[in-house]
Homo-oligomer: A and B are copies of this chain.
Amino acid sequence: MSGRLFIVGLGPGDASLQTPRAAEVLAQATDVLGYIPYVARVPERAGLVRHLTDNREEISRARHALALAQAGRTPAVVSSGDPGVFAMASAVFEAIEAGDPAWREIEVEVIPGVSAMFAAAARLGAPLGHDFCALSLSDNLKPWEVVLERLTAAARAGFVIALYNPISKARPWQLGAAFERLREILAPETPIAFARAVSRADERLLTTDLAQARPQDADMSSLVLIGSAQTRRIERPDGRSWLYTRRSLEAAS
């Protein structure tokens, strides 16, 4: 009995952006494990056991799921967006590598999802339309110097940057420090977007520029997108605008 485990991306929030494959495997699961608001997005069903945990407990949650699979149950570990992007998939494989060798026999299926980053970009236009990177601003798992080095390298090289985990109560100053560093590298008019809870009822989008970007416009549920020199704002007659990044380095005609 080798066991089976699903790692499921629920998409950004709206049910119309969740894949049919995610729904299929959630219908087969005996247990669903994840951060409280994500588990809450899985429909209740007789016989489905829900294990809700805080968002700091990735490794213990991963071990719990692996033990359930080993015991013959079919657990699904759920993440918002795509489970491979700053989410549960990496934690599960980390637990496998360090854990019971029998866990390597478990059939693990990772179900990709529409990531928060791409849902946010779609709402804004096409800001990730050319070379880009995704960078976690959290210094819980890497030193702040490394975060800053990566941010600097990406901005200097011309990548658009999607900042994950930009701010929290425990990390209040890092986003401000990141903007300070970016102001030394990029033009003041570089477009910046704050995207919160995209496709959910409490969605909030704000577009500004690097000169005016303020850390307090982000919260724990936000992504911050940093444009490159090729990122353009298209003004519309009704006052709205689109952001997109040109595919080429030539200036616009």
Contact = CB atoms under 8 A, between A and B. Distances in A.
Interface of A: 9, 11-12, 14-21, 24, 58, 82-86, 89-94, 96-98, 104-105, 108, 110-115, 118-119, 121-123, 125-136, 141-143, 146, 149-150, 153-154, 156-159, 232, 234-238, 242, 244-249, 252-253
A156 B158 contact: no
What copy number does this chain have within its complex? 2
16 contacts: A11-B19, A16-B19, A17-B20, A89-B129, A92-B126, A93-B126, A93-B129, A93-B232, A94-B247, A97-B234, A98-B252, A105-B237, A110-B126, A141-B248, A146-B249, A153-B154
B24 A20 contact: no
A90 B129 contact: yes
A192 to B, nearest CB: 17
Contacts of A129: 84-86, 89-90, 93
Contacts of A149: 157
Most chain B beta carbons < 10 A, residue from A17, A114, A141, A245: A114
Contact of A133 (B125, B133, B146): B133
Contacts of A12: 112
Nearest to A248: B141
A104 B237 contact: yes
